[in-house]
């Protein structure tokens, strides 16, 4: 595995050993009920839990992207994020904070008002967002919602070049499991995911409790932790540098065991 680093306000965050990103949803309607943290007290508890269990990054979202959901308005997303980011910064002031948003104005607010360290975009890397993150100069998670490995690689390569043309350097790529793909396409992409390492960029993988797990196993999101851990182990073996998860402690254990293979 290549020793990637991310520039977090002048401090280098090493990805030589895979990191765990803990999900913090300041929403009332995320697909996994256990991840919903709609109050300031709940947000603070969740942030402390993520860091306490060994999570390296707290990923704060305020607009659900679950299939079939109606997205919150931009104003509502900003209001939720202001509450959540203030609570996270108070509770775990030294934590690396990522913001999960597809809106450029929300990204700007999070970085300029609350010092968000990373922007995690599931919105298809639209031109306005690419220009915004390049202006903000924070690490950027670039997600693909393409159905096949070939289309995913082409999409990511195109957007990476656009970002580099804008002078942006810190880029993380996400194959987008659960976005724009059938069940079979999700597994097909995972089976070949190591080929995306040809981009020479760190891979973020978000498989946690998703439908590709619970639909395959005939269960529901609440029962999908074991399946999540199994696929996280596969993702690590195929080159993932960051695991984005609901269950931080279990993912950290998965990384520790995987790291023994290369000790």
Residues with a catalytic annotation lie at 210, 244
First to last CA, the chain: 12
Residue the block writes with tokens 């609350």: 114
Q: How far apart are the C-alpha atoms of 97 and 125, rounded to whole Å?
A: 20
**Angle at which helices 127-136 and 104-114 cross, to 10°:** 10
| E strands in 134-232 | 140-143, 171-174, 203-205
What is the C-alpha to C-alpha distance for residues 11 and 14, in angstroms, rounded to an integer?
10
CA dist 50 and 62 (Å) reads 17
CB 175 within 8 A of CB 145: no
**Which among 155, 158, 106 has a CA at the least distance from the CA of 133?**
106
Enter the tokens of residue 58: 């707290």
Q: How far is CA 208 from the centre of its chain?
A: 10
């Amino acid at each position: 595995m290549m020793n990637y680093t991310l520039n977090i306000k002048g401090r280098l965050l090493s990805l030589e050993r895979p990191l765990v990103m803990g999900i913090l949803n300041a929403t009332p309607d995320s697909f996994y009920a256990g991840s919903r943290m709609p109050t300031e007290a709940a947000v603070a508890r969740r942030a402390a839990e993520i860091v306490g269990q060994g999570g390296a990054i707290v990923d704060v979202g305020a607009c659900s992207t679950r299939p079939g959901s109606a997205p919150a308005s931009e104003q509502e997303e900003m209001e939720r994020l202001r509450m959540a980011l203030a609570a996270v910064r108070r509770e775990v002031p030294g934590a690396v904070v990522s913001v999960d948003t597809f809106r450029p104005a929300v990204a700007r607010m999070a970085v300029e008002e609350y010092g968000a360290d990373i922007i995690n975009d599931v919105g298809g890397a639209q031109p306005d967002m690419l220009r915004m993150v390049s202006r903000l100069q924070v690490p950027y998670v670039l997600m693909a919602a393409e159905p096949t490995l070939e289309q995913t690689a082409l999409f990511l390569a195109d957007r990476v070049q656009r970002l580099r043309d804008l002078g942006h350097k810190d880029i993380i790529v996400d194959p987008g499991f659960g976005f724009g793909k059938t069940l079979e396409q999700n597994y097909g992409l995972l089976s070949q995911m190591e080929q995306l390492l040809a981009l020479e960029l760190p891979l973020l993988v978000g498989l946690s409790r998703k439908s590709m797990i619970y639909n395959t196993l005939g269960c529901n999101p609440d029962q999908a932790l074991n399946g999540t851990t199994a696929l996280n182990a596969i993702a690590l073996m195929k080159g993932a540098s960051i695991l984005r998860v609901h269950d931080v402690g279990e993912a950290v254990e998965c990384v520790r065991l995987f790291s023994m293979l290369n000790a």
